[in-house]
Amino acid sequence: MKVLMRGNEATAEAAIRAGCRCYFCYPITPQGELVEYMARHLPRHGGVFLQAESEVAAINMVYGAAAAGVRTMTSSSSPGISLKMEGISYLAGARLPAVIVNVMRAGPGLGNIAPAQGDYFQATKGGGHGDYRLIVLAPSTAQEAAELVMLAFDLSDRYRVPAMILADGMLGQMMEPVELPEPIPPEKIPEKPWALTGARGRPPNVVSSFDLDPYRFREVLRALWQTYREIEKNEVRWEEYQVEDAELLLVAYGTMGRICRTVVRKARKEGLRVGLFRPITLWPFPYEPLRRLAEKIPVILTVELSAGQMWEDVRLAVEGRAKTPFYGELGGVVPTPEEILSEVKKHVRD
């Protein structure tokens, strides 16, 4: 059965179905519906909903709940995510699973509440201090948001790496039919023998990102990066659309990826052989599949709601095999398919 939901609501409902039982938040637009949905629904499932005094407190409550072994989540939008970065670094360092949702808006600074993709670097390259990565999943529809939230909890538990859902204001606000995923039975959620449950009949567990000895800490980080290498090997996800005969490949994610799908259809109607490559995991980025396409497609046009952030990963993937122009909009402006199509026409042969 399909339900008409906003992206924010689908994200919240999927989190509950994924077994999230502790959710900590601080209000910010454009993710308000997510908070409201959790406030109404999570307590009915025996979960904890708590509005914290700040984003900083909320992410540290997530840190505590994750350490206690519970599936936990927080959500915010760009300025709030900046505040959470300290806590996210601690989650990564202490190997705690948790899900962080960023419904991106335009920045820097207070910016505005319109959809944007300016937090790509922050999400995929670290953001907080130290040598770490987040698993970053970028949905392009409310349906996909629901599915990726389920996946985020699974991957985060499996690898003990925090996962981020990188959405945007458009996706969060838009209503569309969603086929909700089946709830995960509690017994299917992996055991967490490392969690802080009281040292009863076992030696004490310690959750920490702290080690004064550089040689010991180096080993901790080597193990962490070994995990990251496994994630890079196993968890890369992307979508290809009409790429087989493409002469120009659009690369776009999230809301922009969705709009570019329309661009491909419009271009095809006009006889232009345009395809779309849509990364779903932004970290790990799908370098290899994009590189393979770059062997045969001469123009790879990156389209983002930013001045060009994912563009850098696209160029790293392509490594000079194709031309890599860029088209982006700033400040919360979302380009129309027609505007993107006219950009496409600058680069593709008639």
Q: Which of 29, 209, 227, 242 binds another protein (CB under 8 A)?
A: 209
Q: Which of 44, 200, 216, 233 is in the footprint of another protein by CB under 8 A?
A: 200
Per CB under 8 A, the segment of 21-29, 31-39, 137-145, 183-191 that binds another protein is 21-29
How far apart are CB 225 and another protein at their closest, in Å? 21
> Is 255 among the residues that bind another protein (CB under 8 A)?
no
Q: Which stretch binds another protein (CB under 8 A): 198-206, 286-294, 300-308, 332-340?
A: 198-206
Which residues have a Cβ under 8 Å from the Cβ of 89 and sit 6 or more positions away?
127, 128, 129, 130, 132, 209
Please state, in angstroms and rounded to a whole number, the distance separating the CA atoms of residues 322 and 301.
Answer: 10
Is the dihedral angle over the CA atoms 77, 37, 24, 136 positive or is it negative? negative
Instruction: Considering the complex, state which of residue 3 and residue 56 has its C-beta at the smaller distance from another protein.
Output: 56
- The DSSP symbol for 186 reads G
Asked if 94 interacts with another protein (CB under 8 A), we say yes
Q: How far is CA 339 from CA 116, 161, 295, 310, 343, in A?
A: 17, 39, 27, 20, 6
Q: Which is nearer to another protein, 207 or 221 (CB)?
A: 207
220 binds another protein (CB under 8 A): no
User: What is the rounded CA–CA span in Å between residue 339 and residue 49?
Assistant: 43
Is residue 67 part of the contact set for another protein (CB under 8 A)? yes
| Of residues 192 and 261, the one with the C-beta less far from another protein | 192
Q: Does 79 bind another protein (CB under 8 A)?
A: no
Handedness of CA 109, 136, 120, 8 (dihedral sign): negative
| CB burial of residue 226 (10 Å; 0-12, 13-18, 19+) | exposed
CA distance 109 to 93: 27
Rule CB under 8 A: say whether 210 interacts with another protein: yes
Q: H or E element: which one contains 185?
A: none
Query: DSSP class of residue 19?
Result: T
> How far is CA 47 from its chain centroid?
24
How many C-beta neighbours within 10 Å does residue 35 have? 21
Q: Does 189 bind another protein (CB under 8 A)?
A: no
Count residues contacting another protein (CB under 8 A)? 40
Near another protein by CB under 8 A, which window of 54-62, 223-231, 282-290, 299-307?
54-62
One of 53, 182, 191, 350 touching another protein (CB under 8 A): 53
Nearer to another protein, 62 or 246 (CB): 62
Minimum gap (Å) between residue 48 Cβ and another protein = 5
Of 59 and 170, the one with the shorter C-beta distance to another protein is: 59
State which residue, 201 or 320, has the beta carbon closest to another protein.
201
What would you measure as the largest C-alpha separation in the chain, in angstroms? 73
Residue 268 CB neighbours (<10 A): 14
Q: Which of 4, 27, 45, 206 binds another protein (CB under 8 A)?
A: 206
Q: Which amino acid does the sequence have at 176?
A: E
Q: Give me the residues that bind another protein (CB under 8 A), please.
A: 21-22, 24, 48, 50, 52-54, 56-58, 60-70, 72, 86-87, 90, 94, 196-201, 204-210
